[in-house]
Amino acid sequence: MGRLQGKTAIVTGAGSGFGAGIARKFAAEGARVMVADINIEAAREIAQAVGGVAQHVDVSLNVSVERMAQAAFDNFGQLDILVNNAGVTHLPMPLEDVWEEEFDRVLAVNAKSVYLTARHIVPHMKAHGAGVILNVASTAGVSPRPLLNWYNASKGWMITATRTMAVELAPVGIRVNALNPVAGETPLLASFLGEDTPEMRAKFLSTIPLGRFSQPEDLGNAACFLCSDEASMITGVALEVDGGRCI
């Protein structure tokens, strides 16, 4: 019997990296998963691998999030778990040089999306009297590195939103938590390193006590725990999955 047996879940940004790791683990533990991504080909590939449903979504757009939520209700009848994982960063550069369009995009995809999914999914969870929301933030939200200032700030926003949502939604049976991964070996890594060279990787790794990058499986395992009934007393936490980077 899987730890998420009988549960239904949306995982945004699940076509790649951490989101794909979460989708794989959820499916392995018995959940029915909607693999939602702006890259529909990637979503289809992961959905096929995990026996889930692929859905196109741009999490920064209200109409697109509404369509995703409706598709989940149509497919599953009821939605138990929402993972807000889709994320983007801007190119590493001094904070005053970041283009306004990039700033808007980072805030819309990382932060506004949490509001949009809440608008379309929280009413459904409230009516059901239960639900779990997991926001994939970042160590950048608590221990910022230079040159990714607005990305760091967007992740700090997600952590505060998690705590705020947890307090408001606890009385109606909805738990809200966050994960703070350190950079993984995913397509986003190059942005964090500045330049993906062996030297830059070694320098970055020297700041992680356990000496390795986060893997999609690490996120999948932590997400599975926080979204399962084993964590029924846990809400409002932002759990570091960072090999000790934030100590």
User: What residues are labeled active site?
Assistant: 151
Q: Is 17 among the residues that bind ligand ADP (CB under 6 A)?
A: yes
For CA atoms 5, 76, 224, 42, the dihedral sign is: positive
Please choose, out of 38-46, 162-170, 199-207, 233-241, the segment that lies near ligand ADP by the rule CB under 6 A.
Answer: 38-46
Q: Is 13 among the residues that bind ligand ADP (CB under 6 A)?
A: yes
Q: Is 110 helix (H, G, I), strand (E, B) or coil?
A: helix
Measured from the Cβ of residue 32, the count of other Cβ atoms closer than 10 Å reads: 20
Please choose, out of 3-11, 26-34, 123-131, 183-191, the segment that lies near ligand ADP by the rule CB under 6 A.
Answer: 183-191
Q: Which tokens in the block code for residue 216?
A: 């999609």
Q: Is 15 among the residues that bind ligand ADP (CB under 6 A)?
A: yes
Q: Is 16 among the residues that bind ligand ADP (CB under 6 A)?
A: yes
**Position among 8, 55, 60, 149 found at the interface with ligand ADP (CB under 6 A):** 60
Distance separating alpha carbons of residues 50 and 41, to the nearest angstrom: 14
**Position among 55, 84, 186, 235 found at the interface with ligand ADP (CB under 6 A):** 186
Residue 28 Cβ vs ligand ADP, minimum distance, rounded to whole Å: 18
Q: Give Cβ neighbours of residue 118 (< 8 Å, ≥ 6 apart).
A: 133, 165
Q: Tokens 């029924």, residue?
A: 232
Q: Is 204 among the residues that bind ligand ADP (CB under 6 A)?
A: no
Q: Which tokens in the block code for residue 195?
A: 């330049």
Measured from the Cβ of residue 230, the count of other Cβ atoms closer than 10 Å reads: 11
Q: Is 141 among the residues that bind ligand ADP (CB under 6 A)?
A: no
Determine the residue with CB nearest ligand ADP.
17
Helical ranges in 81-215 per DSSP H = 100-107, 113-128, 149-169, 189-193, 198-205
**Position among 19, 52, 141, 220 found at the interface with ligand ADP (CB under 6 A):** 19
Q: Which tokens in the block code for residue 55?
A: 């859905």
Please choose, out of 37-45, 204-212, 222-230, 238-246, the segment that lies near ligand ADP by the rule CB under 6 A.
Answer: 37-45
Positions touching ligand ADP (CB under 6 A) are 12-13, 15-19, 37-39, 42, 57-60, 86-88, 109, 184, 186-188
